Structure 1
Amino acid sequence: MSLVLYGLKLPEIKPGDSIPDMIIKAAEKQCGGIENGDIVLVTSKIVSKAMNLLIKVDKIKPLKKAIELARKAGWDPRVAQILLNESDSVLLAIPFKKFTEKGIIKLEEISKDVDKAKEAARLYPTIFITLRDGQLWSDSGLDFSNHPLGICSIPPRNLDKVARDIALRIKEKSNKDVAVIICDTELFPFGSLDIARGSYGIMPISKSFGELDRYGKPKFGGVDHIAHELCCAAALLMRQCAEGIPVVIVRGLKYEKSEEGVASYTMNLDKIRYVLIEILIHTIRVLGFKYFLSSILRFIKSR
């Protein structure tokens, strides 16, 4: 069994462009055309460009809440207003610049040009973790990279529908059944990864929890997030800078077809709250309140 990944180069995307039509044309020239069963992975950024989800920062008038947030976070108040507009809830503020100054994040280990890295940290001293359409985002997906100065893109709402629309358009134009996954780069403690934000035509996860292992025991595991894994694989071709490969076709993977999307496997804010509270209660019940309290105190003192 083997998988083949084709990175498709596309021309610069402009508002109003048809992403499916451009994918079909590029695939014909670069990988012999689209085939039934292909999985088409698309960066959310080109979708934003095609849908004209571009914001001119100098046109934004920040309100009082955004001005106060920006003052505390070291942000441009206009960008803070965009963040608030695009967030269902702002959950956390991560002092990224402070972490670099304290050596917790060592810029020389993550950048070949420390001076440029310091400038990036100065421009983005705080990273916000937000909730948007039931998913966690850093800075609600606001993206200034590979845009002209003063322009940022925002991700579309309901990316499962976006994936569906692309898949159906490809079917209409090429008569090929494909799955589509919308990818987006997200921050993690150990680096960035591309993850699935929307999907159509493929079951996002493998429903294998509890299946028997080779010794006949039920497995505690087996729920692979296939959509995320495919985005990570595609990112090896897409990369993060100026490669100009916003679409990757994966060919040869056997997968379960599904009209369910990524949104079917996310938690809303109420569920997240419930989970956190139950974890806290269960921790105290199992480890004891005294142990829990002493652990918290040790953690605070170590700071």
Structure 2
Amino acid sequence: MTDNMFSVTALPGVPAIRPGDDLIGIIIGAMSRSIGSFKDGDVLVLAQKIVSKSEGRQIALTSISPSARAKELARETGKDPRIVELILSEAQQVVRVRQDLIIVRHRLGLTLANAGIDQSNVGIGEGYGSEDQVILLPVDPDSSAATLHEGIYAATGRSVAVLIIDSIGRAWRMGTIGTAIGVAGMPALVDLRGRKDLNGRALQSSELAWADEIAAAASLAMGQANEGYPVVLVRGLPILLAKGAAADLIRPLQMDLFQ
């Protein structure tokens, strides 16, 4: 494999995840049955949903009592007031509201629709219907990624970077794209300022969202509907084994021109 080639492979055989499941053991098992063993510098990319499920972030809507504010926003948007209550509980700030949509600045610093709360593929294989269940983002995705990174090293002796990703829209583009919300074992943001371009000129403002670029590539392999591939291995990238966090990608509020 040359320096400008890498592979993106979805791992088959990952089962429906339940609260408390051993994600590290499940991933190592899926890896051994398909690709084999990990290598130093591999990047393991996980869909946010399986991390949230393993951490018990799945919530029954019947347990939620909406506040007056949630009921008001529900009338304005046509959304279930119980889901609106959960959106508000996860948000630092409500940014925009329209029919069937609430854009918030999430407590993690992300700006996204409906606080990342999702009902798709929730409840499948777990003994109950999905219509009254929702799933929230992990409490601390960077910490979740670090736990997985350290656990894989302890089990295999290999330093494998870990990304937790979700599909998030952007203010200036249509559609969603795979985006890193948790990072461990690699830099999330690479500062290229001062490096030379092909003509020898020093780069002045280039900062690369390295984790997001990998997340977008992995998201293609995962799929967005019923494909059932929530874990992807990226191999062959020149990964710098260093500390990093998805929080490094959050633009400070005072620099955010879209809010």
TM-score (ref. length: structure 1): 0.77
SS of residue matched to 2:94: strand
**Separation in 2, partners of 1:214, 1:4:** 26
| Alignment of 1:242 onto 2:226 | yes
How far is 1:175 from its partner? Answer: 1.4
Indicate the structure with greater helix content: 1
Instruction: Name the structure 2 match of 1:100.
Output: none
Instruction: Name the structure 1 match of 2:162.
Output: 180
After superposition, give the CA deviation of every residue in 1:32-81 in whole Å (9 maximum; x if it has no partner): 12222110001110001111111111221111111111111111111111
**Separation in 1, partners of 2:82, 2:156:** 43
Matches within 5 A, 1:82-97: 82-95=86-99
Of 31, 39, 43, 1:39 maps to: 43
| Alignment of 1:218 onto 2:202 | yes
Instruction: Name the structure 1 match of 2:212.
Output: 228
**Tell me, which stretches of 5 or more residues in structure 2 are unaligned?**
123-129
**Separation in 1, partners of 2:98, 2:186:** 34
How many aligned residue pairs are there? 245
Q: Could you tell which deviates more after superposition, 125-134 or 233-242?
A: 125-134
After superposition, give the CA deviation of every residue in 1:191-226 in whole Å (9 maximum; x if it has no partner): 110100010111112211232222222224432211
Matches within 5 A, 1:92-131: 92-95=96-99, 125-131=100-106
TM-score (ref. length: structure 2): 0.89
Instruction: Name the structure 2 match of 1:75.
Output: 79
- Is the 1:92–1:130 Cα contact (8 Å) retained in structure 2? no
SS of residue matched to 1:169: helix
- Is the 1:130–1:139 Cα contact (8 Å) retained in structure 2? no
**Separation in 2, partners of 1:73, 1:211:** 48
Of 165, 176, 200, 2:147 maps to: 165
| Alignment of 1:253 onto 2:237 | yes
Letter in 1 for 2:133: I
Q: Could you tell which deviates more after superposition, 208-217 or 164-173?
A: 208-217
How far is 1:268 from its partner? Answer: 4.2
Query: Rg larger in 1 or in 2?
Result: 1
| Alignment of 1:64 onto 2:64 | no
- CA-based RMSD: 1.6
- Is the 2:189–2:248 Cα contact (8 Å) retained in structure 1? no
